[in-house]
Chains A and B, each alone.
Chain A
């Protein structure tokens, strides 16, 4: 079940919002208000913040004249876009065919158990997040998981534990 309500960006004071709004305006200024620019803009926001804050969705909606529900549809369709900030260490476990038959599901289970969160979630301290990915193009060393893009091949539960311990 997907999460109810988009998580508010971790700010409690207006000045943070204002700063964010200003930055978003600067991003939007670079594009014309053609609906075709939606994915480009989302991509830029995703890269800058590591997720698409709700305020960004609202501003993009106003700027491009696209209803928020449609933007939300695009964000949730592409796995590249996320609604929550990723952890400091973004861990992805490949569940593609090769990794899967080599037992990557066990790695995923262990990861979820250790961090006490589900796929697509971030630990409350913001340190770790878990994602399931499809093929990362490293089938030869399956199963694999990645930490901030760095690939760990021929993974085992033991190896995962070691990596996690080193990141603490």
Chain B
């Protein structure tokens, strides 16, 4: 191994020694010198567009853009000289002059990179109050609202959509003052190749992109005494919700979250993790059957609605590979409106099911025509983790002071397998735990499948189950999903079971999760911290295999019959449709 060449330089009079190829920005952050950024997003958007991170380098004309300028031997850098500060203020002044500055009523008020920069740079006046672009707000899709009046053209959304997810639903269009981020023909996101994964929202520094809110509808139902409002929360919500209230990243806030939901007035608080256990029973049973019959292998998981929309638009000829299982919250919603309604003698038409999800594609999934039971939608509203936090704040609940509470019976009992659904590899691991025991009839010695864990984009493993060897693949992020789909399309797939999640890292990093600034993401491994919290929940669970969940066993016995049987199929399974990429 060749030794890394080291470079010595001075930043703000501090001696710094970093490997060759490091940028000034990275070098400075290594010695705790902060340089402000706007367009920079580590490994995703390193283009030096906004020029907010400029620094002065002695002996050089003009300013150096520190997010792209590599360090050089003997360099002397000043990051906060009066000239730099003045230039940064001018740049910000120009950006703000064409920005709708209605911060008080903006969804990102208090968590906006532009706002905090304005505060930091003491922008008390806008000197260049010239012409402003006026754009129509696109709120036609069930998932995403785009408000270009707040766009600062940083292109972080474009880079994420095009380079990470490999979708390219949006791009930079027009030129000069008319430049804007747009879809083809400036059509609504609803009518183009967008999958509603929401990664653009996660990466937007301002309020230009946000979820289509369902908060008002939910408040309305909570006020209505005639409606029985049931809420369920996805696995990944509990490990991120606390961040919205200043708790450390990776805090498991399950108990407080349940308490808060009860304070908000939901009639019942159930756990989507239980729904995930049902998904494993159904998906596991489906896989065993398909594996034995060699029927349309590889089988691919179907719980990520962004992924499902992706395959429907891009690989419709391969829809047969998808599992026919509904996603956990849809299964759960269907069970609430059938089994639970019957058991509690409640008219299902009066039940309103709210799902709190780390996802905005779930908002799209919810209103799919297939997701209905006896003419009623399985789920009536989807709130993101962020929306729930907003509701808790509106209700003036001191979240961090809340006592822990437990989910309501009877549908609050879940396993560790259900918990890890929210992280890449989790669905596969949960399925393997049950599939192994179903196939061999023997108890597993080791239930941790380390080979499918971790943050590698595509994980491949061969799992020995009894006399069988099962080849599995786990991919997260749609860019990686594309690689797998191309293998399948070209007949190169030698694996039998595939897990795909649309978001890089899985649901813990979903498009509905708390938004972390570019700086936080550069300095903290958010993904790992949230994932660790999920695995800890699993480790500490009394029951860690879905098929051993007593609630699930009882519902199969009393109501559903056999896993994969007729009634289970009717309530818990669905079908898919080829979708046009561009409806323009």
Contacts and interface: CB of A to CB of B under 8 A. Distances in A.
A76 to B, nearest CB: 5
A24 B29 CA distance: 52
A58 interface: yes
B175 interface: yes
Interface stretch (A2-10, A139-147, A149-157): A2-10
B174 A2 contact: yes
Given A5-B584, A76-B174, A76-B175, A67 B185 contact: no
Nearest to A58: B582
Interface residues of B, number: 23
B192 interface: yes
B162 A70 contact: yes
A1 B175 CA distance: 13
A68 B162 CA distance: 12
Interface in A63-104: 66-73, 76-77, 83
B186 interface: yes
A54 interface: yes
Q: Which 7 interchain pairs have the tightest Cβ spacing? A: A67-B168, A68-B184, A69-B171, A6-B185, A73-B171, A72-B184, A73-B173
State the main secondary structure of chain A at its contact with B: helix
Interface of A: 1-6, 54, 57-58, 66-73, 76-77, 83
Nearest to B172: A73
B187 interface: yes
B149 interface: no
B184 A57 contact: yes
Given A6-B584, A67-B193, A72-B171, 10 more contacts: A1-B134, A1-B135, A5-B186, A5-B187, A69-B170, A69-B173, A69-B192, A70-B162, A77-B174, A77-B175
A2 B135 CA distance: 10
A118 to B, nearest CB: 14
Contacts of A69: 168-171, 173, 182-184, 192
Contacts of B172: 73
Interface string B166-199: 0111111111001000111111000011000000
A68 B193 contact: yes
Interface of B: 134-135, 162, 167-175, 178, 182-187, 192-193, 582, 584
Identify which of B171, B192, B582 gathers the most chain A CB atoms within 10 Å of its CB. B171
Identify which of B175, B184, B582 gathers the most chain A CB atoms within 10 Å of its CB. B184
Contacts of A71: 184
Nearest to B134: A1
A90 to B, nearest CB: 20
B313 to A, nearest CB: 12
A76 B180 CA distance: 10
B173 A67 contact: no
Contact of B584 (A54, A70, A76): A54
A5 B138 CA distance: 13
A76 B173 contact: yes
Nearest to B178: A2
Contacts of A72: 171, 173, 182-185
29 contacts: A1-B134, A2-B178, A3-B186, A4-B186, A4-B187, A6-B184, A57-B184, A58-B582, A67-B168, A67-B171, A67-B184, A68-B184, A68-B193, A68-B582, A69-B168, A69-B170, A69-B182, A69-B184, A70-B171, A71-B184, A72-B171, A72-B173, A72-B183, A73-B172, A76-B173, A76-B175, A77-B173, A77-B175, A83-B185
